[in-house]
Chain A
Amino acid sequence: MEPLERYRPIIDDFEAFLEACRRPLGNAVRINTIAASVERTLEVLDSEDVAYEQADWNPRVLRLETDSPGSTWTSFHGMTHGQEEVSAVPPVVLDPQPGERVWDACAAPGGKATQLAALMDDRGTVVANDSNLGRISALRFNAERLGATSLAVTNRDARNYSMKPFSFDAFDRALVDAPCSCEGTIRKNPDALDDWSEGYVDSVSGIQKGILRRAIQTTREGGTVVYSTCTFAPEENEAVVQHALDEADCRVVDVEVGLEHSPGLTEWGDEEFDASLEDAIRIYPHQNDTGGFFVAKLEVTA
């Protein structure tokens, strides 16, 4: 928990935050509406006596009262997919529409990419990319298991992503769920902070800036880009969005989501960020009994 001490000045009720970080996380699943409606999935869970609690902010997110959410009939039939509750937030914020062209720049293992496809009623094009070949197999496995026919999977470096293979030259929306120091996953992976260092935070923030810049470039004017991480470090969050504001054509717009959250920061150490960063959101584990997340929504202006 040591590395988290640096966030004491920015987190309200820091002791409750630490306390929540020490508690293991429950089992959350997302209903895959490509396979079955919310109503039908709940019918099956009821008939199989699997207890659940539906998230207030999203009827497609359930907390399951079972130790093995992967060994249920709903999972076997692809009606449910194990996915942390906060990890379902960025696709909802991106709000993709049926028929659109959408890029998921860092898509493996595919929970969010298949959620994007489901939000589009599996109509349109979701280009799910990941630079890590080893993780592509998990992405493909999940896409097939969940029946996402609108997904095209690529294996390239998102920072200099080429549009050449496709028949269109811009996306309507892009999700950058960036590789990060994963501080917010501490409840799921108790060793998430073992290799934490400021050096890693700084080096990964360079990668994040490159991916977000490319996502803005490949999205049409008026299109939407969502930037998210599962970490608290401002170097990987507000500072990355600030870099995009400085270097690319975009502005920060308000994130609306029915989960308790804190606003994005406008300063960290001796760095100051644009006032619009307050419209980004920080979700802390003690606020909704989930993992931690940062989400910023950008509109592409040229």
Chain B
Amino acid sequence: MADESDAEEAVANGADGDLEQNVGQRFDRLPATPAERTVEGRVSREEVVDYFADRFGIPPETFDDYTFWEKGAGKIWIYAGEAPTPLSIESLGMTCLRTRQEHWKPTTDFVQRVGRHATDCVIELEREQARAFAAGEDQALEWDGDWGYLIAAHELAGGLEPLGIGLYVHGELRSMVPKGRQRDL
């Protein structure tokens, strides 16, 4: 339903040019597709879902029951409940992705939430490596996949559990676990 009203807005604002500026202090629902964009630099739902599918192999249908929102410059939130757009409240669901920068960066909490669905760019860590990662430490590691943001995971009781987001460059995995989430385990 909201997708239709987004589309109507897009028509009202004219298809090209005259894009509005992002208002950082409120939640705005992402347009369904880039063609329906009304705010400069705002990503679309389609681009977000495609990113998680292309980079991590997370099936797009994982997100069928969720909406995506922007609050702050490039901060994308995922939400399962009902809400009108725009909306000025403290938070809506959880932050999942940082856009408006060259390399998009998923959040650690979100990766813990959906990372089990990922098949690509998942780097499996041994126990000591997982401990270092959880403590926020950088470590030298071999990895023959893509560089950039990876999902770090480790095995717990016979199942693979996502730990969070790491940045892999020049033979090193840098833990992106935020300070408040780091633990000595």
Q: Which B residues between 61 and 102 are near A, CB-CB below 8 angstroms?
A: 65-66, 78-84, 87-95
Give the complex CA separation of A153 and B87 in angstroms: 11
- The reply to whether A73 and B156 form a contact with Cβ atoms under 8 Å apart is yes
The smallest C-beta distance from B129 to any residue of chain A, in angstroms, reads: 14
A141 interface residue per 8 A CB criterion? yes
The smallest C-beta distance from A296 to any residue of chain B, in angstroms, reads: 27
- The reply to whether A149 and B161 form a contact with Cβ atoms under 8 Å apart is no
Q: Which A residues between 132 and 163 are near B, CB-CB below 8 angstroms?
A: 136, 140-141, 143-145, 147-155
Knowing A46-B157, A140-B90, A154-B90, the reply to whether A124 touches B80 (Cβ < 8 A) is yes
- The reply to whether B65 and A125 form a contact with Cβ atoms under 8 Å apart is no
Range, interface on chain B? 35 or more
Give the complex CA separation of A72 and B156 in angstroms: 12
Give the complex CA separation of A126 and B32 in angstroms: 24
- The reply to whether A152 and B183 form a contact with Cβ atoms under 8 Å apart is no
- The reply to whether B94 and A149 form a contact with Cβ atoms under 8 Å apart is yes
- The reply to whether A125 and B183 form a contact with Cβ atoms under 8 Å apart is no
Of the candidates A75, A152, A168, the one having the most CB atoms from chain B within 10 angstroms of its own CB is A152
A183 contact set on B, CB distance < 8 A: none
- The reply to whether B81 and A43 form a contact with Cβ atoms under 8 Å apart is no
Knowing A77-B161, A144-B95, A148-B94, the reply to whether A167 touches B84 (Cβ < 8 A) is yes
- The reply to whether A123 and B93 form a contact with Cβ atoms under 8 Å apart is no
- The reply to whether A122 and B90 form a contact with Cβ atoms under 8 Å apart is no
B185 interface residue per 8 A CB criterion? yes
Q: A76-B163, A150-B80 are in contact. List 15 more A-B contacts (CB 8 A).
A: A35-B113, A46-B157, A48-B156, A72-B185, A77-B156, A77-B163, A101-B82, A125-B82, A147-B112, A147-B113, A149-B79, A165-B88, A166-B83, A167-B83, A167-B84
Chain B interface (Cβ within 8 Å of chain A)?
A: 65-66, 78-84, 87-95, 107, 109-110, 112-113, 134, 156-159, 161, 163, 180-181, 183-185
A-B contact pairs, 27 of them (CB 8 A): A35-B112, A40-B159, A71-B183, A75-B183, A76-B163, A76-B181, A76-B185, A78-B112, A122-B80, A123-B65, A124-B81, A144-B94, A144-B95, A144-B107, A145-B109, A149-B66, A149-B78, A149-B94, A150-B81, A150-B93, A151-B94, A152-B92, A153-B89, A154-B89, A155-B89, A167-B82, A167-B84
Q: Which 9 A-B pairs have the closest CB atoms?
A: A125-B81, A147-B113, A47-B157, A153-B90, A153-B91, A149-B80, A43-B157, A149-B93, A150-B80
